A and B are shown apart, each in its own frame.
Chain A
């Protein structure tokens, strides 16, 4: 089927879109800083604010989980 290569292209394109969206990952790969541990402070701030904004989420957090160390954040593997 003629559509196959284009479909594969689409898929590759989409994967590259996801990679391009991640600025820290791109910084690491382009500057060869593979060992760099980056702390996404703005995301952590937002996370803390989220628990402040929505009491139910904070309540469930306390119920089900031990508080997780905020400093450590691993990016999800693709």
Chain B
């Protein structure tokens, strides 16, 4: 099993949509995939036509000391979504502290999932360091857009050599081209060697409660996501 996480370098870069689409694409390539929503907004299921903010989820269960794994939804055989569950702000702060206290919590859970899934994808939140740090991931990707704000936010992170993925890339924009060129040359080892293009289909997919690959399989973004999934498969086989 390979654990992978996506996290936005800031809000609104399209992390959840990308994660949903990537999960779907990996599943299309014959993988058994579990998507785990680590965000208190609890909205990952929307990409798969599930309810908005289901009451039950892993966070709710963990707080209530219930078995956490019973709340996963099976979208298709081999493609499951584990929602966060409805949790009050005070509660998720408490949960975050708990996760910081027990840094092995998700590692143990991942070990339990190893037989059932080939891939577990975590949609990590912006803040809440406990949530973000707890899953132990083989591939941890920061998602960003090619804009100056992301470039600024990126600078302090560089020391840790994370992986970046450019989302919503528009090659017609001079600034975006320049930024990607700079990143390609400066952070060659950190940059995922393919960019996800800006495509209207990505936004429309969520409005139709579908992952992009199912909503518009012929679109460029669906194609990009399949490339990303292929890259993940290649990278996942390589010892981390």
- Chain B interface size, as a band, is 20 to 34
Please provide the chain B residues from 172 to 199 with a CB less than 8 Å away from any CB of chain A in the complex.
Answer: 174-175, 177-179, 181-182, 184-186, 188-189, 191, 193-194
Are B28 and A3 closer than 8 Å at their CB atoms?
A: yes
- Determine the chain A residues whose CB is within 8 A of the CB of B188 once the complex forms: 74-76
Given A11-B29, A76-B188, A18 contacting B181 (CB threshold 8 A): no
Interface 0/1 of B207-236, CB less than 8 Å to A: 000000000000000010011011101100
- Stretch from B46-54, B57-65, B148-156 contacting the other chain: B148-156
- Chain A interface size, as a band, is 20 to 34
Q: Kindly state the separation between the CA atoms of A66 and B179 in the bound complex, as whole angstroms.
A: 18
Min C-beta distance of A19 to chain B, whole Å: 12
- Determine the chain B residues whose CB is within 8 A of the CB of A18 once the complex forms: 194, 227
A11 is contacted by which of B185, B189, B230 (Cβ under 8 Å)? B230
A57 at the interface (CB under 8 A from B): yes
Are B175 and A11 closer than 8 Å at their CB atoms?
A: no
- Determine the chain B residues whose CB is within 8 A of the CB of A14 once the complex forms: 223, 226-227, 230
- Determine the chain A residues whose CB is within 8 A of the CB of B233 once the complex forms: 11
Q: Kindly state the separation between the CA atoms of A73 and B182 in the bound complex, as whole angstroms.
A: 12
A4 at the interface (CB under 8 A from B): yes
Are A63 and B155 closer than 8 Å at their CB atoms?
A: yes
User: In chain A, what residue has the closest Cβ to B231?
Assistant: A78
Q: Kindly state the separation between the CA atoms of A10 and B28 in the bound complex, as whole angstroms.
A: 10
Min C-beta distance of B154 to chain A, whole Å: 9
Are B155 and A8 closer than 8 Å at their CB atoms?
A: no
What are 27 contact pairs spanning A and B, CB under 8 A? A7-B30, A8-B29, A8-B30, A11-B229, A14-B223, A18-B227, A43-B181, A43-B185, A46-B178, A46-B181, A50-B178, A50-B179, A50-B182, A54-B148, A54-B178, A56-B152, A57-B148, A57-B178, A57-B179, A57-B182, A61-B182, A64-B155, A64-B158, A74-B188, A76-B184, A76-B189, A78-B231
B residues lining the A interface (CB < 8 Å): 28-30, 148, 151-152, 155, 158, 174-175, 177-179, 181-182, 184-186, 188-189, 191, 193-194, 223, 226-227, 229-231, 233-234
A residues lining the B interface (CB < 8 Å): 1, 3-4, 7-8, 10-11, 14-15, 17-18, 43, 46-47, 49-51, 53-54, 56-57, 60-61, 63-65, 68, 73-78
